[in-house]
Amino acid sequence: MRTKIAAALLAVFGSFVPVTGQAQSLFPASVGQADKSLGAVEVRAFERVAALVGNEGAGSISVGAQPLGSWKGKVSARKDTGVPMDRAALDRLPRAVGNGEWRCLTEAIYFEARGEPVPGQVAVAEVILNRVDSQRYPDTICKVVNQGTGRLHACQFSYTCDGIPEQVTEKRAWDRAGKIARAMIDGAPRSLTADATHYHADYVDPYWAKVYPRTAQVGTHIFYKQLPGA
């Protein structure tokens, strides 16, 4: 009986393979805006699967974004081979979509590191997700990215308090950042920064760089891991 039930469920749900679709708007809303309908972007994308597939069949579309739902910081258990580490390979992937948490990570990658090679952008994403997993920091991506914003010398990521409006002007760089954010949230390995929680550009020298152990340098950013009690 259990075998028959399992087979029936597989037949029903096996056909609903999430695929990447084009988001309703290329440039998403501000990171501070709440996502009032969880997974709405993904749902719209899934509803357009038939139009995307056309006559070529479902196998022609690469498996991509999955709804984040009420994701609270823990990455998906789905195994992932990682992010392609060159721009050409990344550009060939389908456009990524996601909810508010995905948008916050995408914006952070874009504004903090879009000029970096792909590994440099992945490294910044690692720091943000490492903070989400740490008890010292907020437990969602958006709260980590916006921590301290609006208070003098308190912001954690410079783009949130540099006085420059967050306007996306480089479409291709935005798309790359979104694909990196999607892969990292979905469980891509964090293998570049050795659990780093901090980073700075190589042309500045913050006080904490003398306190925390250095873990890596990726592109122009140097990475550190905060010690207990520090």
Q: Please report, for the chain, the start and end positions of each structural domain, with discontinuous segments joined by +.
A: 2-56+63-69+79-224
> Residues 12-44: pLDDT tens digits?
334 433 333 333 333 333 333 334 333 443 334
What pLDDT was estimated at residue 230? 67
Phi, psi for 185 (deg, rounded to 5): -65, -35
In terms of pTM, does the model score above 0.75? no
* Over residues 184-192, mean pLDDT: 95
Distance in angstroms (rounded) separating the CA atoms of residues 33 and 51: 30
Q: Of 53-62, 166-175, 218-227, which gets the smallest average pLDDT?
A: 53-62
* Over residues 147-175, mean pLDDT: 82
Write the DSSP assignment of 1-26 as a string of letters. -HHHHHHHHHHHHTT---B----SSS
Q: Answer whether residue 206 shows pLDDT above 50.
A: yes
